[in-house]
Structure 1
């Protein structure tokens, strides 16, 4: 394996985004871009990255504005700047351009986007940009039918804060609570604040102690608004109509994941894609599993097999 470090100026004009391209030895079959979720960073996917490398695929990933190594160097957490929905999508398109430039011998190499959680929203927005030129789209821990945005959050109050003088300030607790509405209701009394992440207690503990996660960093008003803007953009009919009809899509979730409405959201997105003229859609909902299907010990290997088979199919056709 060879490792290339990537740095580029974020579309917010403030951050220097930190990224990495992992290249397998020998012939490269395709590229998988990993788009991480809220309050985490790309190197939490090293196990998946290694599996993809062993299968002959290059992997590219970055730490988004306000996250991971990018946030450490900038000193700003949980804030992507003004118009966050635009910023994070443009940054992923920039990362893709860098990856293609680092693989000049194969400029038309098949390219698959895998987004987890918040990253699934970003990936869905990237997928409809003509510059993306994707061979496949994979969505894990998909954000869909999420109560916080379907019926919970006070959007008028949020927008007023996001567009006012308090835009860069932390969102008030009542709005953050509305955002995470219902996340713990199925997990019993005494469930920790991030019990929804995984059933395995060690995975939850690791998530909490990772210094590059900083999941508890206060979300800025404009960041929360950007999350809402992305959610709305990829949940409407216009998004489904804009997805290329021949783009293969894989949707994965756990049936105990509140982010995906306990698995129902995964079926909802897949069914809407199929009804809107997208015949190549596969859905996999893992029973008894919470948000991080790719990190849970009982399902990690099966998830990786599912993803590698999808990537191989769309890249080798």
Structure 2
């Protein structure tokens, strides 16, 4: 493996984004751009990245503004600046350009997990000719709190947008996330069924999931969620783009599996026939990290990406 660290200026003109390009030893067959989720960082995907490398793929990933090494360097967590919805998409487009400079001719697949699944959908919207496949893991769709409880009018009326968002907004967004689990489940039990994965998620200093989100970050998060799940999004990607959707039926981020099927059905209804959906019974948000199924999930991703690059 060859590992190259890259740096570029965020479109917010404030942060230096840190990213990494992992290249296999043998000639690569394609590229997978990996987009991480809320409150985490891209090195949490190293087991999956290793399998993708072994399968012959270049993998590119960064730590978003307000996250991971990028936030550790800037000292600013859970804030992206103004227009957070657009900033994170533009930054992934910048990473794609850097990777394309090194590998101009390789087929390109986008993988986005959770918040990353929203960013990935924003990245390909109106720009899917640049992409050979789209993988949406732990897909953010049908989130109960965002769609039914969040006081959007109050959030829009906030004037100090750089200030930490009220806890009331966050509580409403994550309402019901552990309601279906056993009594005594911790607040992040929704991350995975495996307690070691949950514990690792909690103690990782680059994770910082509990960092207070700014008002403008929360607004941008909701705006991107809305855009990624709007009817217009389905019409914004080309009809023959292959899509793989992965989720667990114990995952509140995908409405316990229903959100994954909803997106798949909407894709089919809007004229996108090449859609595969896997909802894993009994598993939660990070299906790619669950020890019992992570090899199976990696196999799904590799099989799908292989088919995309061989088309």
TM range (shorter): over 0.9
- Pairs within 5 Å for 1:140-151: 140-151=137-148
Secondary structure in 2 matching 1:159: helix
The 5 A counterparts of 1:117-266 are: 117-130=114-127, 133-161=130-158, 164=159, 166-266=160-260
Matched-pair contact (CA < 8 Å) for 2:162–2:215: yes
SS of match in other structure, 2:130? coil
Q: How does 1:3-82 map to 2 (within 5 A)?
A: 3-82=3-82
Residue 150 of structure 1: CA displacement?
A: 1.1
| Structure 1 counterpart of 2:275, from 275, 281, 289 | 281
Shift of 1:188: 2.8
Contact kept in structure 1, 2:108 and 2:131, CA below 8 Å:
yes
Indicate the SS of the match to 1:22.
Answer: strand
CA distance in 2, matches of 1:10, 1:125: 16
Aligned length: 311
Report the counterpart of residue 102 of structure 1 in structure 2: 102
Structure 1 segments of 4+ aligned residues over 6 angstroms from their partners: none
Please give the alpha-carbon distance, in whole angstroms, between the structure 2 residues aligned to 1:96 and 1:54. 21
- In the alignment, the residues of structure 2 paired with residue 189 and residue 172 of structure 1 have an alpha-carbon distance, to the nearest angstrom, of 27
TM-score (norm 2): 0.99
Give the structure-1-normalised TM-score.
0.97
Q: CA deviation at 1:94?
A: 0.3
SS at 2:60 equivalent:
strand
2 CA distance for matches of 1:215 and 1:92? 21
1:20 deviation in Å?
0.3
Secondary structure in structure 1 of the residue aligned to 2:109: strand
Which runs of 5 or more structure 1 residues have no equivalent in the other structure? Answer: none
